[in-house]
Structure formats: structure tokens, C-alpha cells
């Protein structure tokens, strides 16, 4: 019971919680700087984490770790290079066409909203709905001008992203090669009395996150490919872009599938309402297949988080770190749950 705990134990736990809160506050205040510095490192750690089982499998077949890492990088990134050599030109072409024709699409969207606005007046809809449509028209026009003004910024960010990509590759190679040494170094700096608990925490993190990350990667690829093929068959423009976006947003629980469908449905709506309805049906079918057949087999109950915890994590991640915070929110919540359960709760039981 809590009343039987020694006073110094309670003080110790209070200081630990206060320290954790302080770290979270500082992280939030410096989130932009932390993302710029730690972003590539976290991505590299994630890649290493996903590929490490393959390295261990090759090591069991009497291949040195360095050679195993080189072989995996050669095969994995060789296949990725071949894939990108075929897909990247198509992707770049679609992106350029989208940027070039963006004013036209936004003008079409404004025309649709104008029609809805006129229909609302004819049907004598409530004033609140008409005001909402007027606000939508103003917002659309403002965003159209803002989007056109951000094209140079997007180009600069793309160049920075390319540099970060190569940095991630280098970091991934060295982290994966020295994976065990880095883990041992982490144990070395931990006090002796905390080593067993640290090993327990890392083992639980490995068990929970390992399968989850690899499963999410597979699901993102599956949803992205299915979306691309389906939209291509339907004739929705920029199907490759929307497939990539749908695969990426599929990693966000609950909201991700809806968010991933929005741009494709809007693009289809600019062509015809019939095509938009077909696009919605396609997304519903893909998500039903993914959630009822693929996801239970690939993921199971890997994280075992309560839905309320997931929702709170998504709200916090999106509020503090934007789009990438939504993607990282659930794994971060799972790690936090494991750490709290092992460091804070045991003395309170």
C-alpha cells in the first residue's frame, strides 16, 4: 500500500516524475531544434531496428556482422534504387504537374463551393451553413495564394530532405553494424542496481515495438500499392501521389485512413461526383480488407494500448509535433507505458 512506503521512496518517485515532466516541457519548447537534430537519428534507429533481425539471421549462418550489414544494405537499397529509378520519375512528373495545375484545381474547387453557396441560398438553409460556406470560399482563396507562394520553399525543403536522406543512410549503417556494442554501452552507463530493470525494459520495448514497426511498414506498403492500382484503374489523376500519401497516413490509427482518402476524393470530385463516389467506395473496401484480414495477422495485439491512450497520444503528438507527431505518437506512447510501468508503478503496488 502507498501508506507503507518509506518516505524517501515516495520522494524519489516524486522527483522522477517531476524530472520526466521537466524533460517533456523542455522537449516541447525546443521541439523544432530537436526535430532538426534528432529527426535523422531517430529514423536511422528505426531502420536499424527493423533490419536487425535480418542481420542476426545472417550471423547465424556464419557471416560476420559487418558483411551481413553490407549485404543487407546492398540488397535492400539496391532493390530500392531500382524501384525508385522506375517510380521516382513518375512521382516527380506527377508532383510537377500537380504544382503547375494547382491554381486550376483550386479555381475549380472554388467554383464548386460557389455552386453549393448558391444552392444554400435557394434552399433557404440556416444562416450558419451559409456563413460556413462563405468562410470556406475565403479560406480557399487565401490558401491558393499561400500555396503558390510556397513553391520555392518546397524546392528548398526537398533539397534539405535529400541531404537528410543520405545522412540517415550513413547513420543507419553504423548503428546497425555496432548495434550490440551500442546496446552494451547503454547498459554500461546505467548503475549496477538498475541494470536488470533496464534489460527488462529494453526487452519489453523490443518485443512490443519490433513486430509493430515491421508490421506497420508492411501495411503501409500494402495500402499504398492497393490504393495506387485502384485509383489508376478508376482514372483518378495523380494516383501515385495519393497512393504514397494513403500508405503513409495509414500508420496513424483511427484518423489516418480518412486523412489519406481526402486528397484523392477531392481530386476525383473535380472530375465528377460519380468518380468521387467510386473513389470513396474503393477506400472503404481497402480499409476493410486491411483492418479485418491483413492487420490482425500482421500486427495482432502487439502494443495492447487502450483506445483512450491512443487517442490522447495522437492529440498530443499532432499538437506538439504536427504530422510526424501523429505517426510517432503510438510507438512513443507504448514506450512511455513500458517505462512508467517498470520505473514508477512497481513501488506503488
Could you tell me if residue 263 is inside a domain?
yes
pLDDT tens digits, the chain, 349 residues: what are they?
Answer: 444 445 566 676 677 677 777 877 877 777 777 777 777 888 888 888 888 888 989 999 888 999 999 999 888 878 877 877 777 777 778 777 777 777 777 777 777 767 776 776 676 666 566 566 566 656 655 665 565 555 555 555 655 666 777 888 888 899 889 888 887 777 777 777 777 777 888 878 877 777 788 888 888 999 999 999 999 999 998 898 899 999 999 988 888 889 899 889 988 988 888 999 999 999 999 999 888 887 777 765 666 777 788 888 888 888 877 777 888 888 888 888 888 887 765 544 4
Q: Return the H-helix or E-strand segment holding 58.
A: helix 31-59
pLDDT confidence of residue 275 = 93
pLDDT confidence of residue 348 = 47
Could you tell me if residue 276 is inside a domain?
yes
Could you tell me if residue 344 is inside a domain?
yes
Could you tell me if residue 188 is inside a domain?
no
> Where in the sequence is the domain holding 293, given as residue range(s)?
194-349
Q: How far apart are CA 76 and CA 67, in angstroms?
A: 14
Written as nine digits, the cell of 153 is 520553399
Choose among 348, 330, 321, 333: nearest CA to 30.
321
Q: How far apart are CA 20 and CA 18, in angstroms?
A: 5
CA 232 to chain centre: 24
Which class for 324: exposed (0-12), middle (13-18), buried (19 or more C-beta within 10 A)? middle
Written as nine digits, the cell of 249 is 497516413
pLDDT confidence of residue 279 = 95
Could you tell me if residue 312 is inside a domain?
yes
Q: How far apart are CA 203 and CA 197, in angstroms?
A: 10
pLDDT confidence of residue 278 = 95
Written as nine digits, the cell of 45 is 534507429
CB 55 within 8 A of CB 178: no
Could you tell me if residue 339 is inside a domain?
yes
Q: How many alpha carbons lie under 13 Å from residue 200 in its C-beta half-sphere?
A: 11
Choose among 229, 221, 218: nearest CA to 283.
229
With b for 16 or more beta-carbon neighbours within 10 A and e for fewer, the 135-146 pattern comes to eeeeeeeeebee
pLDDT confidence of residue 349 = 45
Q: Return the H-helix or E-strand segment holding 269.
A: helix 256-271
Total number of domains in the chain: 1
* Longest CA–CA separation in the chain, Å: 77
Q: How far apart are CA 231 and CA 226, in angstroms?
A: 9
Could you tell me if residue 43 is inside a domain?
no
Could you tell me if residue 345 is inside a domain?
yes
Amino acid at each position: 500500500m502507498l501508506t507503507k512506503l518509506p518516505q524517501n521512496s515516495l520522494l524519489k518517485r516524486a522527483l522522477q516524475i517531476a524530472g520526466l515532466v521537466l524533460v517533456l516541457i523542455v522537449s516541447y519548447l525546443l521541439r523544432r531544434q530537436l526535430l532538426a537534430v534528432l529527426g535523422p537519428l531517430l529514423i536511422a534507429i528505426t531502420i536499424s531496428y527493423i533490419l536487425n533481425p535480418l542481420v542476426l539471421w545472417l550471423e547465424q549462418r556464419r557471416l560476420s556482422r559487418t558483411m551481413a550489414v553490407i549485404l543487407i544494405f546492398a540488397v535492400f537499397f539496391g532493390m530500392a534504387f531500382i524501384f525508385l529509378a522506375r517510380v521516382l520519375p513518375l512521382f516527380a512528373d506527377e508532383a510537377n504537374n500537380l504544382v503547375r495545375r494547382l491554381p486550376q484545381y483550386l479555381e475549380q474547387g472554388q467554383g464548386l463551393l460557389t455552386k453549393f453557396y448558391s444552392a444554400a441560398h435557394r434552399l433557404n438553409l440556416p444562416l450558419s451553413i451559409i456563413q460556413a460556406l462563405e468562410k470556406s470560399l475565403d479560406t480557399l482563396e487565401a490558401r491558393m495564394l499561400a500555396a503558390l507562394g510556397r513553391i520555392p520553399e518546397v524546392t528548398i525543403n526537398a533539397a534539405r530532405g535529400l541531404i537528410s536522406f543520405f545522412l540517415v543512410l550513413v547513420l543507419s549503417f553504423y548503428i546497425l553494424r555496432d548495434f550490440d556494442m551500442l546496446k552494451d554501452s547503454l547498459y554500461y552507463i546505467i548503475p549496477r542496481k538498475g541494470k536488470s530493470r533496464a534489460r527488462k525494459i529494453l526487452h519489453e520495448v523490443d518485443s512490443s515495438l519490433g513486430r509493430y514497426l515491421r508490421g506497420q511498414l508492411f501495411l503501409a506498403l500494402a495500402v499504398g500499392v492497393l490504393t495506387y492500382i485502384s485509383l489508376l484503374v478508376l482514372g483518378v489523376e495523380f494516383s501515385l501521389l495519393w497512393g504514397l500519401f494513403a500508405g503513409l497516413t495509414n500508420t496513424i490509427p483511427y484518423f489516418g485512413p480518412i486523412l489519406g482518402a481526402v486528397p484523392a476524393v477531392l481530386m476525383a470530385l473535380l472530375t465528377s461526383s460519380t468518380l468521387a463516389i467510386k473513389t470513396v467506395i474503393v477506400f472503404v473496401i481497402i480499409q476493410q480488407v486491411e483492418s479485418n484480414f491483413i492487420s490482425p495477422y500482421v500486427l495482432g495485439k502487439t502494443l495492447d494500448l487502450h483506445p483512450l491512450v491512443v487517442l490522447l497520444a495522437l492529440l498530443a503528438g499532432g499538437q506538439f509535433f504536427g504530422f510526424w507527431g501523429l505517426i510517432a505518437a503510438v510507438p512513443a506512447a507504448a514506450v512511455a507505458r513500458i517505462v512508467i510501468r517498470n520505473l514508477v508503478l512497481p513501488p506503488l503496488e
